[in-house]
A = this chain, B = another copy of it.
Amino acid sequence: MKIALVIGSTISTIKDEVIRGRKLLIVRNADTAGKPTGEPYIAVDTVSAGTGDLVMVTDGSSARYTNQTTNAPVDAVIVGVIDSLELGGKVSYRKE
């Protein structure tokens, strides 16, 4: 799963009912300090995440395997909010 930072949200005109009913957040993959390093993309929120949260994103077909996205045409879903990351005994990121 990717370490990603939530940087914003999108409003879109969507036909699929599963996607339409969910919050769509803009995220960027991040390093272990929570600093964004990747290109922006859109992930379905399933954990009430918000801008500034560091989150865990599942992509590919497994994005359809949360109970909120079953069989939906989605390829990225936020499955967790990261509380802390620890590298070799030291905390590299902690949620404020």
Interface residues of A (CB under 8 A from B): 1-3, 7-16, 19, 24, 26, 29, 31-32, 37-43, 46-47, 51, 56, 58-67, 69, 71-77, 79-88, 92
A10: chain B residues at CB < 8 Å are 3, 56, 82-86
A63: chain B residues at CB < 8 Å are 62, 73, 75
User: Main SS of chain A's interface residues?
Assistant: strand
B29 touches A85 (CB 8 A): no
Known: A12-B56, A26-B87, A60-B61. A19 touches B75 (CB 8 A): no
A5 to chain B minimum Cβ distance, whole angstroms, is 11
Number of this chain's copies in the assembly equals: 5
Q: Give complex CA distance A31, B62 in Å.
A: 25
A76: chain B residues at CB < 8 Å are 1
